[in-house]
Amino acid sequence: MITLSITGMTCASCANHIQDALIAIRGVSNARVSYEQASATVAIKKETETNAEVKEQVLIDAIEALGYSAKVVAPDCCNNTGVAKDKNTDELHVAIIGSGSAAFACAIKSAERGARVTIIEAADVIGGCCVNVGCVPSKILIRAAQLAEQQRSNPFEGLENHIPILDRAQLARQQTARVEELRAAKYQHILDTNPKLSLVRGFASFKDAHSLVVRHDDGFEQVLSADRFLIATGSQPAIPPIPGLAHGSSQKVPYWTSTETLFAEELPEHLVVIGSSVVAVELAQAYRRLGSNVTILARSSLLFREEPLLGEGLTTAFEREGIRVLDHTQASQVHFEDSEFILDTNQGMVRGDKLLVAIGRSPNTRGLNLDAAGVFTEPNGAIRVDERMATSVPHIYAAGDCSSMPQLVYVAAAAGSRAAVNMTGGEARLDLSAMPAVIFTDPQVATVGLSEQEAHVRGIETDSRVLPLENVPRALANFDTQGFIMLVTEAGTNRLIGAQVLAHEGGEIIQAAALAIRNRMTVVEMAEQLFPYLTMVEGLKLCAQTFSKDVKQLSCCAG
C-alpha cells in the first residue's frame, strides 16, 4: 500500500479524476482518493510489488499530469503523523535564466518537487513581458478604449451618445499602478515567501553546458553551476530593416514599439502602424477608439496567417470605425522631420506624428553563448525544443517566447511547469493540438485547432460551415451582429478539428470549442449539447446544427 498527500484539489470531482487516473495505471489493483483528507491510498498488485520506488514516481507523475502536486507519505515515521518524506539526500539545483511566466511556473513546480532554484534576471524588474509590458497593460488600455467607443457610439435607441472625456495620462498612471500591484503579488511575493527560491541580478551566459557566467551591473562576474537549466529569456519587439529605422543610423528615429505605445501619456493626432498581426491590430484599434486617426500598413493583409475570412471581417470592422487599412503596402524609407514621420511606400507617401512598429517579436537569445553549451537554435534565434521542452542538451530546457513554442503566455507557463517535472525526474509533455488563441480586437478573433488550409496541408479532407452572427439570438439582442462562427470537421467522421470565431467577446466562446476538440467530439455530439440561452457560446451549437439542418427554420433555443 502506498499513501500520497495531494495538493491542489478544489472539490470532490478533483478526487474522482485523480482516482480514475491512478486505477488506470498498470500494476495498480485499487485506489482511493479523499478530497477532505487531501490524500490517496493505492494498492499494488502482488505480482508487481518489487521496485516500489519506480511505482511511486509513476503515481506522482500521473497526478501531476492532471495539474496537482503529490508526495509520498510515510505513515510510520514522524510519530505516525503522515508527514511527507524527503527521499532526496542531495538537493537538486535548478538555474533559471529569466523571471517571466515560464520562469516562475518552472521555479514553483521545481521547488514543489524538492529542488533548490536560482532565478537569474538582468532587467530592473522581475515578471517578464506579460505583466510588465504585454498582456496586463494592453488589456487595460483595450478595455478603456472599448468603453470610450461605447460612449461615442451605441446601437440602442433612447440611449444618447456623447463624446467621452479622456485623460490619457491618468489612464497610463492607472495602468502602471495595476502592473506594479500584480507584479508584487504574483512574482515578488512568491520570491519573498518561498525559501526554495533565490534571485540573482545580472546577465547570464553559458560558460559551458554545466555552468553560467553571471555579469553584474558593477562588472563583477560570478560563475554559477547547476544540475538543470531552464532558458526563459522571453522576446523583444522585432524591427524591420527599413532605411531610417535601422540600428546604427546617424540620428535616432523616435518610433514606438508596443512598450512606448502602451504607456504613452499623450494621444497622437495620427498614428501610423507598420504591421498586421496581433499587437498591431489590437493597439491600432485601441488608439482609434481613444481618439487618434490611425493608418495600418499591412505587408499582405490583416491576420494573413489566419483563416482569410477572419482578416477580411476584421478589415471591414476597422474601416467602419475609420481606421485606414492599406493592404499589400510596404515602407521603403522612413523619414522623421519637424516632429513628423514620413513614410515612402509603394502606395504613396504616408504621414503621421507617431509611428508604431509592430511586426512581431524576436527571441531574446543573443548573448547567451548557447554554442558553448551545445544548444541548437532555429534560424530566427528561437531555441529548438521538443514536446518535453528539452533542448539539444539533455539537462538544459527552454520555455516561453525564446523557444520554438508559440508565443503565448499560457503556453509559456504550461511549458515551464512541464519542464520542471521533467527536470526533477518526471515525464510530462505539452500537447498543443487544442491550443486556443485570442486577439483582443472588437470583434475579437478567436481560434483553436486547424483551419481548412492547415488541415489540407496535413492531408486531411474537411467539411466546414460558417454561421453569420445574425443567426445567434444573443448577437441580435446585443444589436451587434458583426462576425461569424466557423467550424471545421474531418470529412467522413464529422469530428471537430478546428474553430474560428469573429465576434464580440469571441474569446469567451473559443474554450468550449477547445474542449470539444480535446475530447474528439463530433459536430453531431456538439449539436446535442445543452447551451444556455441567451449566450454567445450558443453559436457553437447553432453552427454545429448547420451541418445537418437550416437553423433559420428553428425556433428560439431549439434543441
**Residue numbers annotated as active site:** 9, 11, 14, 68, 130, 135, 556-557
203-to-212, 343, 439 alpha-carbon distances in Å: 10, 37, 33
Whether the Cβ atoms of residue 496 and residue 516 lie closer than 8 Å to each other: yes
* Nearest C-alpha neighbor of 109 from the set 406, 414, 386: 414
Q: How many CB atoms lie within 10 A of CB 475?
A: 23
Residue with cell 484539489: 9
DSSP 235: E
∠ at Cα 361 (357, 363), nearest 5°? 145
CA 31: distance to chain centroid?
35
How would you classify residue 417: left for phi > 0, otherwise alpha for psi between -120 and 50, otherwise beta? Answer: alpha
Cα(465)–Cα(548) distance, rounded to whole angstroms?
Answer: 10
Whether the Cβ atoms of residue 202 and residue 67 lie closer than 8 Å to each other: no
CA 105: distance to chain centroid?
13
208-to-121, 194, 477, 512, 529 alpha-carbon distances in Å: 19, 29, 63, 46, 56
In 26-164 the beta strands, taken as DSSP E runs, fall at 28-34, 39-44, 69-73, 93-97, 116-121
DSSP 470: G
Q: Which three cell numbers stand for residue 292?
A: 487618434
